Chain A
Amino acid sequence: MVIAEAEIWKLLEQVPDPEIPVISILDLGILRNVQWVNDTNEKQLKITITPTYSGCPAMDAIALQIRLILAEAGYKNVQIEYQLSPAWTTDWMSEKGKQKLKAYGIAPPLAQHQNDTLFSEGPQVPCPKCNANDTELISAFGATSCKALYRCKACNEPFDYFKCHR
């Protein structure tokens, strides 16, 4: 049985990011392509994914989840390809994904890239909890490669910021 690729995309929307389970690999822009290809005698499903950061330890877990979900739906002949170019960027994150991040307490990436000038301040990130703009960067590096640590000066809550990466 060969179903439309669009249906496969829908199926794979169930695959969460292992570190931030509220968003899917579709929301993050990790899933790049779904394609039926001709194997020796049967159709093979080729899934192309791209890592967020070079060292993202979630990739293996994501590949395994993809295989599991497809196997449950009856697709066993699956090939997973890792694609490095073009390099992943937070511009590929869906609007829906950004809203889910915010609801989860992580400030979604802003369009503004980090200013490379030394000692320049980080971007003005609104607090995901109280929406105040009066926040400050605590650390450029956070609990995972994709996040920086901020503090809201209005509600005093620390929060993660999903860094703009491009």
Chain B
Amino acid sequence: MSTTDSTTLKAAHFNYILHLADTALILSQRICQWCGHGPVLEQDIALSNVGLDLLGLTRNLYQYASTLDDKGRKEDDLAYLRNERQFKNLLLVEQENHHFGYTVLRQFLFDSYQILLLDTLKNSTDKILAAIAQKSLIETQYHFKWSAEWVIRLGDGTEESHQKMQQALDDIWTYTGELFLAAPYEQTLIEAGMLSPLENLKTQWHQKVATVLQRATLNMPDSDKVFMQQGGKNGIHTEHLGYILAEMQYLQRQYPGLEW
């Protein structure tokens, strides 16, 4: 392998770990906004629990990314001192919470994807990433049971809850195409044999999601006909990300280097 190739590969690897970390962090921030506002106490706690697991995953990934970073940035620098254009999270996870049904639906679509992804990453030749994935996979399976059951409960619930869930599904679907569109850094890793092609994931995800949506009596939008937004993986975001970062990064921006 030439020097250029190894540099490109190293950068792609670093960016991919950041992409995984950013996605977990932003979703964690989002669902923790429910803390104190959940419809009932038990579900409020459930959301924060899921958020905490995701934050743990985030930390494991940033700590790992820190060891790969040329600039020697630490975990906190990566979370607090990068701008929107540098965040590589999925557009799906930065969307606003709207109502509880929208939140659990977004969670369900994400959990379905994350289980399948982590299941391949746990066998990665990258042993550190494999260990992080294996640990998170056990937790994500638990999240999936919770989010999938809620989607069914609300989809197959009252006339109003069904209508709200169908509307949410139709609204959110435009952000699901990006999950299976490889960013340049993913493409590099796929070509190097370090990452599985995303097509397999796409087929499996559609099957997994369809099974639950059918039980929820919801109509799954046709991915081939819906216009799909993209860009999150490459730092092009919807307007919502900036507000999340502004709130999350305020303290480190105002008091650089402050420690807990």
Q: Which residues on A are within 8 Å of B, measured CB to CB? A: 51, 53-57, 84-85, 87-88, 114, 116, 118-119, 138-143, 145, 149, 165-166
Known contacts: A55-B57, A149-B42. The answer to whether A87 contacts B138 by CB under 8 A is yes
Closest 4 CB pairs of A and B: A55-B56, A54-B56, A85-B131, A139-B42
Min CB distance, B260 to chain A, in Å?
9
Across the interface, A55 reaches (CB within 8 A) one of B46, B54, B138, B152, namely B54
CA A53 to CA B135, docked complex, whole Å = 8
Min CB distance, B143 to chain A, in Å?
9
**Please, what's the 1-or-0 string for B37-68, where 1 marks a CB less than 8 Å from any CB in chain A?**
00000110110011011111101100000000
Whether A55 lies near B42 (C-beta < 8 A) is no
Whether A145 lies near B53 (C-beta < 8 A) is yes
* 14 contacting pairs across A/B (C-beta < 8 A): A54-B56, A54-B59, A54-B135, A56-B56, A84-B128, A84-B132, A85-B130, A85-B134, A87-B138, A118-B215, A119-B152, A139-B45, A142-B45, A143-B45
Min CB distance, A61 to chain B, in Å?
12
Whether A141 lies near B49 (C-beta < 8 A) is yes
Whether B45 lies near A141 (C-beta < 8 A) is yes
- Chain A residues with CB under 8 Å of B131's CB are 84-85, 87
- Tell me, yes or no, whether B219 is within 8 Å of chain A by CB: no
Knowing that A54-B132, A55-B52, A142-B49 are A-B contacts, what are 12 other residue pairs whose CB atoms are under 8 Å apart, sorted by A's residue number?
A53-B53, A53-B56, A54-B59, A55-B54, A55-B59, A57-B52, A84-B134, A87-B138, A88-B135, A138-B42, A141-B50, A149-B42
Interface residue SS majority, chain A: loop
- Tell me, yes or no, whether B142 is within 8 Å of chain A by CB: yes
Whether A54 lies near B149 (C-beta < 8 A) is no
From A51, A87, A142, name the one whose CB has the most chain B CB atoms within 10 angstroms.
A87
Q: Give the interface residue-count category, chain B.
A: 20 to 34
Whether B46 lies near A139 (C-beta < 8 A) is yes
Determine the residue in chain A with the shortest Cβ distance to B148: A118
Across the interface, A118 reaches (CB within 8 A) one of B43, B52, B149, namely B149
Whether A145 lies near B52 (C-beta < 8 A) is yes
- Chain B residues with CB under 8 Å of A88's CB are 135
- Chain B residues with CB under 8 Å of A141's CB are 42, 45-46, 49-50, 146
Whether A114 lies near B142 (C-beta < 8 A) is yes
Determine the residue in chain B with the shortest Cβ distance to A149: B42
Whether B46 lies near A87 (C-beta < 8 A) is no
Min CB distance, B161 to chain A, in Å?
17
Known contacts: A84-B131, A165-B138. The answer to whether A140 contacts B53 by CB under 8 A is no
CA A55 to CA B52, docked complex, whole Å = 5
- Chain B residues with CB under 8 Å of A138's CB are 42
Min CB distance, B63 to chain A, in Å?
9
Determine the residue in chain B with the shortest Cβ distance to A147: B49
- Chain B residues with CB under 8 Å of A55's CB are 52-57, 59
Whether A51 lies near B142 (C-beta < 8 A) is no
**Please, what's the 1-or-0 string for B103-142, where 1 marks a CB less than 8 Å from any CB in chain A?**
0000000000000000000000001101110111011011
CA A139 to CA B146, docked complex, whole Å = 10
Whether B45 lies near A87 (C-beta < 8 A) is no
Whether A145 lies near B134 (C-beta < 8 A) is no
Whether B49 lies near A114 (C-beta < 8 A) is no
